[in-house]
Amino acid sequence: MIDTQIMDVQSTSMRDTIKRTYNLTTEAVAHVREMVGRGELPTSQDGIVELAIDRLYRAVSDQDDVDRWARAAQDQVFIVEMRTVSADMAEAEARPTE
């Protein structure tokens, strides 16, 4: 027997979601409700929360990148390696093309 159930075409555009329950302050809930559908914002409370989480995630991730580059700028091995790469690239660009 072959199970063909997983071969069905899913025509929905919705992403997978998971029902979660969080305890939020009444102020946070009021802010979410107030922002629903405002301007270019999502038209559901779930959409507002998801957007906020995505923006926070990106901000934290961006800060992690900034921190890593700041540490790299102090790493003498990294600095030497980048100077070597830069010199190699400049040399390659200076070569005449045939």
pLDDT digits (tens, 9 = 90+) for 41-70: 999 999 999 999 999 999 999 999 999 999
Q: Which residues of 20-43 are buried (b: 16+ CB within 10 A; e: fewer)?
A: eeeeeeeeeeeebeebeeeeeebe
Residue 48 lies inside a defined structural domain of this protein: yes
Q: Could you tell me which residue, 92 or 63, shows the higher pLDDT?
A: 63
- The mean pLDDT of the chain is 88
Residue 11 lies inside a defined structural domain of this protein: no
The total domain count for the chain is 1
Residue 7 lies inside a defined structural domain of this protein: no
Residue 69's domain spans which residues? 23-94
Instruction: Name residues whose C-beta falls within 8 Å of residue 35's C-beta, 6 or more positions apart in sequence.
Output: 41, 48
How large a percentage of the chain has pLDDT more than 90? Answer: 70
Residue 82 lies inside a defined structural domain of this protein: yes
pLDDT at 11 (0 to 100) = 47
